[in-house]
Structure 1
Amino acid sequence: MIFAKHAKLPDGWARDVRITVSSGAISEIERNHTAQTGDVVVDTLLPALGNLHCHSFQRAMAGMTEYRKAGKDSFWTWRDLMYRFTAHLTPEQIEAIAAFVFLEMQEAGYASVGEFHYIHHQPGGTPYDDLSELSSRIASAAATTGIGLTHLPVLYTYGGAGQVALEPGQARFGNDVSRFNRLVEGARKAVAALPEDCRVGIAPHSLRATSPEDLAEVLGAHPSGPKHIHIAEQPKEVADISSWLGARPVEWLLENVDVTKDWCLIHATHMTDTETRDMAMSGAVAGLCPITEANLGDGPFNGPVYLEAGGAFGVGSDSNVLISLTEELRTLEYSQRLRDLARNVMVVAEGSVGEALYCGAARGGAQALGRGRGEIAVGELADLVAIDSTDPALCALPTHQVLDGLVFAAKDKVVTDLWSAGRHAVRSGRHVRRDDIVAGYRSAMDTLMAAL
């Protein structure tokens, strides 16, 4: 049982709320109640967000690419460095890094993660004896931390638009459709021992890393479940796809694929207003990663037009250069303000920007990860986060402004407790397995740095 002095329910704020959790889901909500012996008592309870886009291994290279060399640095120069880094990663290191990343996410207030998983093979590209070896490592990290996992094996067949051959640095990623389908089946077996809230979807990496024929084939083989894709992240990508397929990436996808609510379009940064409205009306989720998009110089999302068209969105930490739920949401809003020279942009008409950002991301993240509606409601997964509204960053605010304070004034340290489908993973601000997970990460980094 969880007793909250304040709770954000679908119809608004409520006081003295007692929540019963059964088999990972919310089975009862009682208002105006009193705490009972044995209840976990918290201050303010919120639906916990899902981190909808993560490449966990990239956390280990955070800070390594912030040195400017001769010429102009860009996403593409960063990518070359990332490829060289991946050549040294072992399965054991990938697991230890993922466990540390998942811990950081939970301590920041994320209850679940969409692991967009594209390292599949040994250095050089030879498959492991078990094709899904590295998916098993991600599953093991999820089991260690208790995070809710939506595992998204990535189809990565080509090195660039027009079916260009893979580069040496991409060899660990590559599969044709036939082998990819076998890998997905292996991934389903790898996660079978995880709790029932685990999901397996698919992730065609991008239009540039597949082909129209391969995309159609893989979607036919996996018609249900989450489908995530990188799209329109960089102007060069837009130009390359337009030259090859005769349409801009989002435009081409919407015209040639049945994009529905199962889809999450990651970044979708460079869109026309028409593409933006059409994407919103498709029901797909925009997977926004504002910290990474700022770090890589991608540019800001077309937020106002998308929201006016009723578009769904969520947030992810992508490269994991910094894992911070509060920073992710405020960077999303601030990127819009800097572009538009305006304030309070990511809300339709009037209202709380913090609430619009937080609750919008909770709903969109849950949709993208196949985890329900992202609300504290009976029947929903018990993905819950408690924050301390008496923290100095929040204590001056009335309850109805707490989400504004959380998004714009607080740090993630206000998180006191977190449940992933009822698994109480964070208590008093610390993950219950912090010490051994951090020790495992430090050991993995020591051996990795010795190999670089």
Structure 2
Amino acid sequence: MAALKRLHAPLAWVEGRWQRDVLLSVDASGHWSEVTANVPAPPGAEVLAGPLIPSLVNAHSHAFQRAFVGLAERREAGQDDFWSWRDRMYALALRISPQQLRAVASQLYAELLRGGYTQVCEFHYLHHPAQGQAFDDELDMAWALAEAAQDAGIGLTLLPVVYTRSGFGASGLRPDQHRFAADADWAWRASQRVMAAGLPRVNAGVALHSLRGASPADMTRLRQLVGATDVPIHIHVAEQTAEVADCLQATGRRPIQWLAEEGGLDPRWQLVHATHAEPAEIEAVARSGAGIVICPGTEANLGDGLADLPRWLSHGVPLTVGSDSQVTRGWVEELRWLEYGQRLTARQRNVAAAPGTQASSAARLFDAAVTGGARAAGFAAWGLTPGARADAMVLNREADGLRGLPDEALLDAVVFGSNGSPWQSVWVAGRARPWRAPGRVGDAFEAAMRELWRSDG
């Protein structure tokens, strides 16, 4: 396919290192058709004003929870943990409408774009009306998310979630979970409809909420429906120690152990959080080819614990990050805290680095997230490479933390020394996207927040 646009970067992060004078061609579908280093800028090429790096995939998002950010940071009495946070979060989950969801998600997706994400994997389980009445279209909530992604200009991987029970051994969902209800047939039908719609930059996979939220029969049925179709399959697993204890009591095995032995893991699978994993479980996941999605901002906010990052990395398990509950909405902070959490517990520095192969913690984590993000979103390629969508970010060398640095230190400084979003433009499918959402997006978000929280003052 002939190039419709050519970009020239004086410096670009290609194949895991900085390369100079990089010419990038964009084809008619908005993908890179050619990426070549050491080429002078040809006539007609757009010369970029700063170093070019890949954007990242946000591999785990609950968009509706953007409306809950900042509203669960007080403890009036007793103990506050993941489970008490979840019960309060349900107050939002039970009343948000499709119109409000679109307003909240449009604001979130604009913020994610500003935070350096150009594709978001939406782990979607708000399927049905809050009060039990039927939507005109059973996918009204899903379409609201797709419309929000179009509003913001971000790519979307929609993951309809199988959710059939409230816990191990339960026969169904709790009354405050009724709008989440979806069996494997429903989720697969939803995924197929989203794919058939042919929306720009929108694709779909499937998800199971968790081992406590979906039964072995649900998993078997979903695997039958998916068959050999190459779509991403996501699941929450081993986020909380209580979940691990409940799984042990119900099955005699830990959650990741059970998945590895019974779940049919393969490279399509993404294990979200995977916080509490034993060495043998990590080895089993590595053998399967499945990936993991770590969400450091949310896991810190909810007191989940720390994943065994060095062991996941040493076993070569595909790894990427997500914003989850939206308390953080940029990948710089996620990668920073992915490393910092390890430093605090190990009382060492540059824990993620691999001397002899990749001495930079920032580069090792960034490259892992680029590669792992492609698989999480169901893409064959991601980054500054032919065949990948032409998504990227132009760094601002005058940004706080980057000014005056030598080229080789730029990515280290982006992750560990910058404030905010240290880039001057974000590109999606070969087009620069606006820095900020139109005022109408913010106005709609504020109106939705007033409606959702009016009863709370």
Which interval holds the TM-score relative to the shorter structure?
Answer: over 0.9
Match of 1:391 in 2: 399
Range with bigger deviation, 178-187 or 386-395: 178-187
Range with bigger deviation, 104-113 or 371-380: 371-380
The answer for unaligned runs of 5 or more in structure 1 is none
- Within the alignment, does 1:424 sit opposite 2:428 as a pair? no
Match of 2:441 in 1: 437
Match of 1:90 in 2: 97
The answer for unaligned runs of 5 or more in structure 2 is 1-5
> Given that residues 371 and 381 in structure 1 are in contact (C-alpha distance below 8 angstroms), is that contact kept between their aligned partners in structure 2?
no
- Within the alignment, does 1:382 sit opposite 2:390 as a pair? yes
SS at match of 1:344: coil
Match of 2:326 in 1: 320
> Given that residues 120 and 127 in structure 1 are in contact (C-alpha distance below 8 angstroms), is that contact kept between their aligned partners in structure 2?
no
- CA distance in 2 between counterparts of 1:240 and 1:4 reads 53
Relative to 1, partners in 2 of residues 1:203 and 1:40: Cα closer, same or farther, differing over 3 Å?
Answer: farther
- CA distance in 1 between counterparts of 2:248 and 2:132 reads 30
User: Map of 1:36-115 to 2, 5 A cutoff?
Assistant: 36-37=43-44, 39=46, 41-115=48-122
- Within the alignment, does 1:205 sit opposite 2:212 as a pair? no
CA apart distance, 1:451: 5.0
> Given that residues 238 and 249 in structure 1 are in contact (C-alpha distance below 8 angstroms), is that contact kept between their aligned partners in structure 2?
yes
CA apart distance, 1:207: 0.5
Give 1:182's match in structure 2, choosing from 189, 201, 212.
Answer: 189
CA apart distance, 1:80: 0.1
Output one character per residue of 1:325-365: Cα deviation in whole Å (capped at 9) or x when no partner. 11111010011111212111112334111111111111111
- Within the alignment, does 1:305 sit opposite 2:311 as a pair? yes
CA apart distance, 1:371: 2.4
Q: What is the one-letter code of the residue matched to 2:283?
A: R
Q: Which structure ranks higher in relative contact order (CA pairs < 8 Å, sequence separation ≥ 6)?
A: 1
Give 2:302's match in structure 1, choosing from 293, 296, 321.
Answer: 296
- CA distance in 1 between counterparts of 2:455 and 2:373 reads 37
- Within the alignment, does 1:24 sit opposite 2:4 as a pair? no
> Given that residues 148 and 421 in structure 1 are in contact (C-alpha distance below 8 angstroms), is that contact kept between their aligned partners in structure 2?
no
Relative to 1, partners in 2 of residues 1:451 and 1:70: Cα closer, same or farther, differing over 3 Å?
Answer: closer
Relative to 1, partners in 2 of residues 1:308 and 1:299: Cα closer, same or farther, differing over 3 Å?
Answer: same
> Given that residues 237 and 271 in structure 2 are in contact (C-alpha distance below 8 angstroms), is that contact kept between their aligned partners in structure 1?
yes
Give 2:249's match in structure 1, choosing from 211, 222, 243.
Answer: 243
Q: What is the one-letter code of the residue matched to 1:447?
A: E
CA apart distance, 1:180: 3.4
Range with bigger deviation, 154-163 or 178-187: 178-187
Match of 1:9 in 2: 14
How many residue pairs were aligned?
A: 445
- CA distance in 1 between counterparts of 2:345 and 2:16 reads 33
Q: What is the one-letter code of the residue matched to 1:211?
A: S
- CA distance in 1 between counterparts of 2:343 and 2:406 reads 25
> Given that residues 268 and 290 in structure 2 are in contact (C-alpha distance below 8 angstroms), is that contact kept between their aligned partners in structure 1?
yes
Alignment TM-score, normalising by the size of structure 2: 0.93
- Within the alignment, does 1:404 sit opposite 2:409 as a pair? no
CA apart distance, 1:378: 1.6
Q: What is the one-letter code of the residue matched to 1:262?
A: R
CA apart distance, 1:11: 5.8
SS at match of 1:251: helix
Give 2:262's match in structure 1, choosing from 243, 256, 261.
Answer: 256
Match of 1:330 in 2: 336
User: Map of 1:278-297 to 2, 5 A cutoff?
Assistant: 278-297=284-303
Relative to 1, partners in 2 of residues 1:349 and 1:279: Cα closer, same or farther, differing over 3 Å?
Answer: farther
- Within the alignment, does 1:369 sit opposite 2:377 as a pair? yes
Q: What is the one-letter code of the residue matched to 1:128?
A: F
CA apart distance, 1:257: 2.0
Q: What is the one-letter code of the residue matched to 1:15?
A: R
Q: What is the one-letter code of the residue matched to 1:2?
A: L
CA apart distance, 1:324: 2.0
Relative to 1, partners in 2 of residues 1:40 and 1:417: Cα closer, same or farther, differing over 3 Å?
Answer: farther
- CA distance in 1 between counterparts of 2:16 and 2:349 reads 27
- Within the alignment, does 1:159 sit opposite 2:166 as a pair? yes
- CA distance in 2 between counterparts of 1:415 and 1:168 reads 46
CA apart distance, 1:36: 4.4
- CA distance in 2 between counterparts of 1:115 and 1:82 reads 17
Relative to 1, partners in 2 of residues 1:179 and 1:34: Cα closer, same or farther, differing over 3 Å?
Answer: closer
Match of 2:3 in 1: none
Relative to 1, partners in 2 of residues 1:164 and 1:77: Cα closer, same or farther, differing over 3 Å?
Answer: farther
- CA distance in 1 between counterparts of 2:8 and 2:104 reads 34
SS at match of 2:277: coil
- CA distance in 1 between counterparts of 2:251 and 2:431 reads 46
> Given that residues 387 and 414 in structure 1 are in contact (C-alpha distance below 8 angstroms), is that contact kept between their aligned partners in structure 2?
yes
Give 1:136's match in structure 2, choosing from 115, 132, 143.
Answer: 143
Match of 1:339 in 2: 345
- CA distance in 2 between counterparts of 1:369 and 1:7 reads 23
> Given that residues 146 and 423 in structure 1 are in contact (C-alpha distance below 8 angstroms), is that contact kept between their aligned partners in structure 2?
no
Relative to 1, partners in 2 of residues 1:12 and 1:180: Cα closer, same or farther, differing over 3 Å?
Answer: closer
Calculate percent identity across the aligned residue pairs: 38
Relative to 1, partners in 2 of residues 1:127 and 1:241: Cα closer, same or farther, differing over 3 Å?
Answer: farther
Relative to 1, partners in 2 of residues 1:5 and 1:112: Cα closer, same or farther, differing over 3 Å?
Answer: same
Match of 1:357 in 2: 365
Q: What is the one-letter code of the residue matched to 2:216?
A: P
SS at match of 1:143: helix
CA apart distance, 1:40: 5.5
Q: What is the one-letter code of the residue matched to 1:184?
A: S
Match of 2:279 in 1: 273
- CA distance in 1 between counterparts of 2:18 and 2:186 reads 50
- CA distance in 2 between counterparts of 1:5 and 1:99 reads 34
RMSD value, Cα:
1.7
Relative to 1, partners in 2 of residues 1:24 and 1:148: Cα closer, same or farther, differing over 3 Å?
Answer: same
